[in-house]
Structures are given as C-alpha cells and as structure tokens.
Amino acid sequence: MNVAIFASHNGSDLQAVIDACRKGKLKARVCAVFSNNSDSRALLRAKEANIDSYHVSAKVYGNEYVMNNEILKLLDAHQTDIIFLAGYLKRFGHDIVKKYHNRVFNIHPSLLPKYGGQGMYGITVHQAVVKAQEKISGITIHRVNDEYDRGEIVAQTTVPVLPYDTAEILAARVLEREHEFIVEVIGKIVDGDIPIG
C-alpha cells in the first residue's frame, strides 16, 4: 500500500512509519512526503530515505487552487492509496479530501472530541489538558473532512496524565506513544480492519 505523508515540522511520526516499512513491520511504503514548510525536518527525513518529497505552499504555486491541483497530480503520479496528515498544520484541500474520500487520515494528540478544532495543535493541546487536570489524555486517528478534527474517529489510544506533568512532559509521553500508534493503525488499514473503500 502506498502512503503519502504530509508534515509541517519535525516529522518524527513520518520517521516511525519509514522505519516500520523498512523493517517489514508494515506491508506498505511511503511513496511521497509533502510539507508546507521548506525548512521542515520531514523533508530532510524523506531525502535521507530516498523518498520523493515536495514543498507545497500557496506562495510557491501562487494560490491554493493551483497548489491543490498540483498536489492531486503528484498523488496520482505516486499511485497513492492513503494519505496521512502527521503534524500537518494547514487546512487540507477540499478537492483532495473529495477525491481520496475515506482515505485521508489525521493523527491528533488528544482524545477527540476533547481538545480539538481550529488552533488546537501541538503544545496548545497539552497545555489545555494539563490546565483541565485531566487524568487521561491520548491520541486520536480520524478521517479528514472539511471541518477541523471532526471526521470519523477510526482509532484511539490513551496516555496517562500524571500529577507532576507539565505540558512539555505530557507532550513527550504522547509523542512516544504516537510513534507506535501510527504504525499500528496503518497496519490495520493495510490489513483491511479499517476500511478505505
């Protein structure tokens, strides 16, 4: 199964998937990597792994419409089966979501529907969880639609919030679990346990 991954910054989830594919833990391959940030570590990780990578932003293409059309062409050229947004901080194009209906997934660092929506990403999520004195947080993988973090939830896993946690400590614990969880869920998609048809 060909997986295209979109990431804006560090790309550590991307690396976890690349490593799992290399080790044979996943019957899949990362066919292309996209980032809206030309300086993202994700693009460098792709280059190091000899995976085609693309800097895609409206600044490069002039406007969102042209950019989304170019992304669609590239996804098609790489025979993409599924798309994963792994720390991708841009709204995903409607035309892409429509063409890849049920095949675009996002990983979010909380137990949706809590702590989701526009502006809820990265450390902001963990700050909100700690401030609310939650005992449990976690990770959600959901299908992408036209609303932030509102698509069908396909998998969740929990991570404890401990009494001494700061947002940064919690973020590190959640990210460590994310690296395992994204691989587990892609495996379920590949095996047909999570349908994409």
Residues known to be catalytic:
108
CA distance 64 to 56: 10
Going by C-alpha positions, the residue among 53, 52, 55 that lies closest to residue 37 is 55
Check if the beta carbon of residue 45 is closer than 8 Å to that of residue 33. yes
Give every CB contact of residue 84 below 8 A, 6+ residues apart in sequence.
Answer: 3, 4, 5, 6, 13, 17, 105, 106, 107, 182, 186
CA distance 104 to 147: 13
Angle, CA of 160, 161 and 164, to the nearest 5°: 135
Q: Which residue has the tokens 């030309």?
A: 38
